[in-house]
Amino acid sequence: MLVVEDDAVIRSALEVALRGAGYELRAEPDGAGLERAAREFRPDLAVLDVRLPVGPDGYTMARLLRRTSGLPILFLTAADSVDDRLAGFQAGADDYLVKPFSMAELLARVQALLRRSGRLSSASWHVGDLVVDDAARMVVRAGVPLELTRTEYDLLTVLVQQIGTVLSKTQLLTQVWGFDAYDTNLVEVHMSALRRKLEAAGPRLVHTVRGAGYVLRA
């Protein structure tokens, strides 16, 4: 995946979230080296800011990518007027997400674009007696379907994609709520609810590592 974002904080958050979700990533601060990056890295999707201080703007980059490749394009930008959105789609965007944004929504849109373009098949994960079917957004444990909220489901998919890896509350905030979320109590509240539902059908899967975070183990 190719990301062009001039804001260092947002770019870093995108790198953490997208790599954490299993994507290979090349992140650039501007579009000056776009052609070289696209040629060398050969991405399956581009996430582009619109207004950049150096090099071509997002619309120009999208038109260039459209001429040279068929990869999906997602605009991630603070340019939120109707005219901005129309210009984005006219330049070749497949999707348009306005800042501030939820990282979980971005990850869902990325996955949908990759799947729609045929570059990603629907994912499912099996951990012991737990099955997470991403296409149906369904979770089953020991044959029993679990009713999870959207946030609980997003938390679980982040954990299951990185099984065995301890994730801090800050990492979970970034990957589920977005780069601008800071209240670690959010993680504790929703993790507690997720655990209760998982453990109603079997032994503990999500473990607390004191002082470090949470980890999913079979």
- Same domain flag for 8 and 105: yes
What is the chain's pLDDT, residue by residue, as a tens digit (218 residues)?
999 999 999 999 999 888 877 788 999 999 888 888 888 888 999 999 999 988 899 999 999 898 888 789 999 999 999 999 999 999 999 999 999 888 888 888 888 888 777 765 556 788 889 999 887 889 999 999 999 998 999 899 989 988 888 999 988 887 888 755 678 888 999 999 999 999 998 999 999 999 999 999 98
6 shares a domain with 70: yes
Do 58 and 87 belong to one domain? Answer: yes
Q: Are residues 85 and 15 in the same domain?
A: yes
Residue 95 sits in a domain whose CATH number is 3.40.50.2300
- Name 158's bridge partners: none
Neighbours of 174 (CB within 10 A): 22
Q: Across the chain, which distance is largest between two alpha carbons, in Å?
A: 55
Residue 127 burial (CB < 10 Å; 0-12/13-18/19+)?
Answer: middle
Q: Please give the model's pTM, rounded to 2 decimal places.
A: 0.63
Count of domains forming the chain: 2
Indicate if 144 and 204 belong to the same structural domain. yes
Which of 116, 146, 168 terminates a domain? The answer is 116
Query: Are 174 and 77 within one domain?
Result: no
Q: Are residues 101 and 130 in the same domain?
A: no
3-class DSSP state of 61: helix
H helical segments located in the chain: 8-20, 34-41, 58-68, 82-91, 103-116, 150-161, 169-172, 185-199
Q: What pLDDT does 180 receive?
A: 56
Domain CATH number, residue 128 = 1.10.10.10
Q: Which domain holds residue 89?
A: 2-116
11 in Cβ contact with 29 (< 8 Å): yes
